[in-house]
């Protein structure tokens, strides 16, 4: 059974920033003090004693009421999915344990919310308190989870044995298994849209996909995925493949497949990714297709890279675009959502000192960070099912991809952190020099389709919307924004045939995100059809589909998906 928190449970927050300093603050949080405060660097952190007293009083009343329910043989209500199974309700002691935990959680959250501090520090306090709360759920522990007890009895102990075996296997892998990884193989049942690699260098392979229609749009489409993940998120299985959908619509599709960095790429920079990666891919797509203008696409960090590259190209007098598509991409880094909790001068300087001159940001470390942004879904859920209940995770292509992590070149990563996340220079015309050019996103001259996901915790949709003010500043009517339901990945990978979720459209020339949403129209189903109409408008006339991959200079090297995507971190 959970022990109720003391009336001053702020001691649980001592893992934030300077533990000794916070201990002093929490010791001061006693009746009789006029205020409790501490200094963290130049910042002052305070708790209002009046607010603390009110929270304490509310907590005591609610806990007393909960205890009275237990004494009167009532079972408390549990409005939380983690305690939705019948086992939690069938035993009043287990129900009380869960109810006490939820009460304690609300109190801790309220205390964190009551802290008076600069926004960055307060955000970190709230984040760390939430991490502690999520980790301490009674659902995460063998002794306090009745679902686990029932499973052991039903299986005569077999679930316990399987759980231990799952735990040992994951310890060897160094990560939690979220999917049955034996069910998938890249090139066999993932990333199987037919195509060929027509170019490769030390940074990427360029894949050209075979047309699946007799005629194709004249202007090809180049896809630039994020370099912190593998491209096949855009080509999972046939029923949810963005690539297959595009070629079936009559587009000639080229894909950048980033190499998974190893020691030979330890000194690779952001400029290298722009010049030898994206700009090279644009030129190759032009040469192979024979078209001066192409449609370009960037997803997540791929959107930041393609926008950086295009700003360089337009600064050089090149005009390669028929249209641009950006999906859940950041160009304005003012609001980076929950990731902002990790970014400050000290953190960035540490990365520059350790990785800025050479090295690799390990993929497993990056994967762990992203998992703990949603710990109940991506960590503790699997602790409960895999280890405590001994259940093997089912096959799930998206989670298989999520676990197939990639490294990042240290200098590129450190530069990206400072200039984008910390100093937010990309949005300022001329503030950044990339590949020898002062970049100005406003020079990119093309109709632009911008997509954001409403529940995205990595790229808040309002931040994706902020690109509307940076691109085509003199011709804002050339920009179109679409908002989809769900999150960073699930909102994007939403094929029309599934008829799932919804999306919002608004063609009014509005530059404020909240006003845009207030006057938008919600439509059922996928946003892909909106995007298809945009691409068709800017892809040129229909011509006979090409009958071969590449051209005389660039010939097929190997079938898609190629070697690079199969390399493990």
State the catalytic residues: 300
Q: Show the tokens assigned to 100.
A: 């006490």
| Contact in structure between 151 and 145 (CB atoms under 8 Å) | no
CA distances from 155 to 86, 164, 168, 169, 485 (A): 18, 14, 20, 21, 40
Whether 206 contacts 220, CB under 8 Å = no
Beta bridge partners of 47: 36
Element (H, E) at 89: helix 86-90
Kindly list the distances between the CA atom of residue 535 and the CA atoms of 250, 295, 412, 446, 471, in Å, as whole numbers in the listed order.
11, 8, 31, 12, 18
Name the β-bridge partners of 261: none
- Rounded distance, CA 264 to CA 258, Å? 14
Q: Are strands 437-438 and 448-453 parallel, antiparallel or unpaired?
A: unpaired
What span, in angstroms and rounded, lies between the C-alpha atoms of 155 and 147?
Answer: 12
- Please give the Cα distance from 515 to 499 (Å, whole number): 27
Distance CA 22, CA 339 (A): 23
Burial class (CB in 10 A: 0-12, 13-18, 19+), 468: buried
Angstrom CA distances, 267 to 358, 407, 417, stand at 5, 13, 16
- Residue 119: CB partners within 8 Å, gap ≥ 6? none
* Cβ atoms 310, 343 nearer than 8 A: no
| Residue 200 vs residues 37, 94, 441: alpha-carbon distances, Å | 58, 59, 28
Dihedrals φ, ψ of 470, to 5°?
-95, -30
For 8, the token pair is 């001053």
Bridge pairing between strands 433-434 and 253-258? unpaired
Contact 265, 231 (CB under 8 A): no
CA distance readout (Å), 158 to 45, 148, 162, 376: 51, 12, 6, 25
Length of the chain: 569
Q: Report which of 209, 190, 184, 204 is spatially closest to residue 560, judged by C-alpha positions.
A: 209
- Taken in order 397, 398, 404, 406, the sign of the CA dihedral is positive
Nearest to 440 by CA among 277, 283, 310, 330: 310
How many helices (H) and strands (E) in the chain? 21, 19
């Amino acid at each position: 059974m959970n022990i109720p928190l003391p009336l001053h449970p702020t001691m649980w927050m001592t893992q934030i920033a300077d533990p000794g300093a916070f201990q002093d603050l929490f010791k001061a949080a006693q009746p009789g003090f006029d205020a409790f405060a501490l200094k963290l660097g130049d910042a002052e952190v305070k708790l209002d004693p009046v607010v603390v007293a009110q929270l304490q009083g509310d907590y005591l009343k609610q806990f007393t009421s909960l205890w009275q329910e237990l004494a009167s043989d009532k079972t408390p209500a549990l409005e939380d999915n983690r305690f939705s199974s019948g086992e939690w309700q069938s035993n009043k002691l287990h129900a009380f344990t869960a109810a006490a935990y939820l009460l304690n959680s609300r109190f801790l959250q309220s205390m964190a919310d009551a802290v008076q501090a600069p926004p960055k520090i307060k955000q970190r306090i709230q984040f760390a308190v939430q991490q502690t709360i999520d980790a301490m759920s009674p659902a995460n522990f063998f002794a306090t989870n009745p679902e686990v007890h029932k499973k052991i009895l039903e299986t005569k102990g077999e679930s316990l044995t399987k759980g231990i075996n799952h735990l040992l296997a994951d310890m060897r892998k160094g990560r939690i298994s979220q999917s049955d990884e034996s069910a998938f193989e890249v090139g066999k049942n993932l990333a199987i849209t037919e195509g060929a690699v027509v170019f490769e260098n030390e940074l990427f392979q360029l894949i050209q996909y075979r047309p699946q229609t007799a005629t194709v749009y004249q202007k090809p489409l180049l896809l630039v995925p994020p370099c912190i993940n593998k491209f096949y998120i855009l080509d999972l299985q046939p029923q949810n493949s963005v690539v297959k959908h595009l070629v079936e619509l009559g587009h000639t599709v080229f894909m950048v497949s980033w190499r998974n960095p190893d020691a030979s790429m330890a000194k690779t920079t952001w400029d290298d990714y722009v010049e030898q990666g994206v700009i090279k891919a644009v030129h190759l797509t032009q040469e192979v297709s024979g078209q001066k203008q192409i449609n370009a696409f960037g997803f997540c960090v791929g959107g930041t890279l393609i926008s950086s590259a295009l700003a360089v190209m337009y600064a050089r007098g090149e005009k390669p675009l028929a249209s641009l598509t950006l999906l859940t991409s950041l160009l304005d880094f003012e609001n980076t959502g929950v990731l902002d909790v990790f970014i400050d001068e000290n953190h960035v300087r540490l990365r520059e000192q350790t990785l800025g001159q050479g090295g690799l940001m390990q993929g497993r470390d990056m994967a762990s960070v992203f998992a703990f942004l949603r710990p109940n879904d991506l960590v503790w859920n699997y602790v409960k099912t895999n280890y405590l209940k001994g259940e093997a995770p089912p096959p799930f292509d998206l989670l298989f991809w999520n676990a197939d992590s990639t490294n990042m070149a240290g200098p590129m990563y450190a530069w990206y952190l400072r200039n984008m996340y910390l100093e937010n220079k990309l949005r300022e015309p001329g503030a950044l020099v990339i590949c020898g050019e002062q970049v100005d996103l406003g020079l990119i001259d093309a109709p632009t389709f911008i997509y954001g996901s409403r529940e995205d915790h990595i790229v808040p949709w309002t931040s994706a919307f902020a690109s509307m003010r940076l691109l085509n500043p003199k011709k804002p009517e050339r920009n179109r924004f679409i908002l989809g339901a769900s999150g960073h990945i699930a909102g994007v990978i939403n094929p029309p045939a599934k008829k799932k979720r919804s999306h919002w459209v608004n063609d009014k020339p509005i530059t404020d995100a909240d006003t845009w949403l207030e006057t938008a129209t919600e439509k059922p189903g996928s946003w892909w059809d909106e995007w298809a109409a945009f691409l068709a408008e800017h892809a040129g006339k229909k011509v006979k589909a090409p009958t071969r991959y590449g051209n005389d200079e660039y010939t097929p090297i190997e079938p898609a998906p190629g070697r690079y995507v199969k390399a493990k971190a």
